[in-house]
A and B are shown apart, each in its own frame.
Chain A
């Protein structure tokens, strides 16, 4: 157990290192153009280009360049944007983190709760029209682009049906700090939470149903029936409990995908000033230092979250825990 824990953490560090090298290579060593020009952004003056070259050590060997970049992003945090002159990137990213966390954690809660409900309901009614309808709805959820769904939500809740009882409570787009206005914080996030979680509710409802139906074929379910347990108990205590193991491992992976993908798009659509919106604005301005930083921070967060989930999984599955 201790050994596998250390192994997992070592693996996490290795993957983080690998990602940082990959990001470095993409931004600084892709053939085709001068990396200084890339960092400096559109129409940079020769003086700025020179400053960029010096600050990133482009005249130095490549590993020094890598170390310089890592130091600027993670140690000294003095990476500056050249498009927005002299703007310190790392503090700017830090400011946006609470917004993104509010968004993804709330969405993850909805995702888990509703995926469980749908998966269990579909497995309990397997083969009936209830099951088929739920699975079809799940499939539709999976097939919608999240940013488009967000726009449809905006269209309905901000414009077309804003004046009806259904959506009159929806505040204008934007984010409110939890510490300033907890109610406003909650209300502005409800629609983004729903939007972001629908894809994953569909996905996980289906995954969970499949896992439960599969474990219902296992021998130990027959044993449980032979014990004279009720079908509800068999479904919840035996089939669901063993299926959760698979659910949790996948959750780790997809929570990462959510943070590094759909959340970004959701922030853009709902005008939430989070890491994703910051990245989007930087994309429009070709402000590479910001993109580099958000990409690295977000991927490291995702990798760390994956490791945490794997460790939780070890605690959840006695076969791994006591091995």
Chain B
């Protein structure tokens, strides 16, 4: 349903062009849950913001193609994009504490979205808000609609954001690290909720995170990003059991195993991601890679298979 080809996002800055997303391609099937992993600054959020048409920075240059159910989204008129956004493609953000407008009740904010896309009475929209709050397991929804964001906990606010995202039964839901800012127990509840909603609504979900543990729990397929590029993609099981890219392996090493002997120390990845401004040629991960060899000074390409990685160890 979503077909992204050669998507690039660059920002003009005083020092030069910053290539935040560099020729990224991926697909999302109907009802599928695609996990996108990567460190902060790897371009995972920016590429999905581009899909949402939410990059408003006048200095951003977006090229490539994003097709949603056969419709090209790059260069779509703002008006048409708006009709799509929030209705067919919805988004959940990382920090629920700041994602809601502080001066309106949560019921008002949910109803606002419903009314923006559907012809219905205010009373019906309000009722829809109550139903949605019930669906995301907010206790006492009749009363909760009258609450202001600051009166709710982070977990509750994230439920509200999810309820809002679901208000128009979107076919595609983009969740940008929706659990990162929350306590561990609340994280588990939110993940449970997302799984349940996926069953009930059948929406496809793109789930962005840097947490491999969360990926292991819910993803169908995965995309690993590094320095603005996709370095590996494949089914979750393939990626976890037989990672191809050294970066993916390093990421997997950095999570504690649930069973078996616990290592004394978790392995951290040495070094830092490259500066995206005027980046040097060659594999971006090479400076931090323990397996680098002379070929890595060139640019490795992503293969065409279902499980493939952009690494010369794989293609060689």
Contacts and interface: CB of A to CB of B under 8 A. Distances in A.
A229 B150 contact: no
A191 to B, nearest CB: 38
Interface stretch (B36-44, B95-103, B136-144, B263-271): B95-103
Given A219-B95, A322-B151, A226 B90 contact: yes
Contacts of B112: 227, 229, 237
Given A220-B98, A223-B93, A127 B58 contact: yes
- Residue among B83, B99, B101, B113 with most chain A CB within 10 A: B101
Interface string B136-172: 0000000000001011000000000100110000000
B86 A228 contact: yes
Nearest to A317: B103
Contacts, number: 78
A242 B102 contact: yes
A218 B98 contact: yes
Contact of A242 (B101, B117, B161): B101
A245 B161 CA distance: 24
B56 A223 contact: no
B298 interface: no
A226 B82 contact: no
Contact of B82 (A229, A242, A322): A229
B86 A241 contact: no
Nearest to A215: B101
Q: Which of A218, A222, A223, A224 has the most CB of B within 10 A?
A: A223
For the residues of A in contact with B, the DSSP-based class is helix
B148 A226 contact: no
A225 B90 CA distance: 10
Interface residues of B, number: 33
Contact of A223 (B78, B99, B103, B117): B99
A237 B78 CA distance: 19
Interface in A19-65: none
A220 B99 contact: yes
A226 B52 contact: yes
A245 B116 contact: no
B91 A228 contact: no
A318 B148 contact: yes
A241 B103 contact: yes
Nearest to A323: B150
Contacts of A225: 54, 56, 85
How many of chain A's residues touch chain B, expressed as a range? 20 to 34
B28 interface: no
A123 B101 CA distance: 19
Given A218-B98, A318-B148, A322-B151, A226 B86 contact: yes
A226 B85 contact: yes
B116 A220 contact: no
B103 A228 contact: no
A223 B84 contact: no
B91 A226 contact: yes
B166 to A, nearest CB: 12
Nearest to B52: A226
B87 interface: yes
Contacts of A222: 54, 93, 99
A319 B150 contact: yes
Contacts of A231: 78
Interface string A205-240: 000000000000011101111111111010001100
B103 A245 contact: yes
Contacts of A238: 101
A191 B65 CA distance: 59
B82 A219 contact: no
B101 A319 contact: no
Interface in B198-212: none
A227 B113 contact: yes
A265 B100 CA distance: 45
B185 to A, nearest CB: 24
Given A226-B85, A229-B86, 8 more contacts: A218-B98, A219-B99, A228-B86, A229-B112, A230-B116, A237-B112, A317-B103, A318-B105
Interface of B: 52, 54, 56, 58, 78, 82-87, 90-91, 93, 95, 98-105, 112-113, 116-117, 148, 150-151, 161, 164-165
16 contacts: A219-B95, A222-B93, A223-B100, A223-B161, A223-B164, A225-B56, A225-B85, A226-B52, A226-B86, A228-B82, A228-B83, A229-B82, A229-B112, A233-B116, A242-B103, A319-B148
Closest 10 CB pairs of A and B: A228-B86, A219-B98, A228-B85, A227-B86, A227-B113, A226-B91, A318-B148, A220-B101, A223-B99, A228-B82
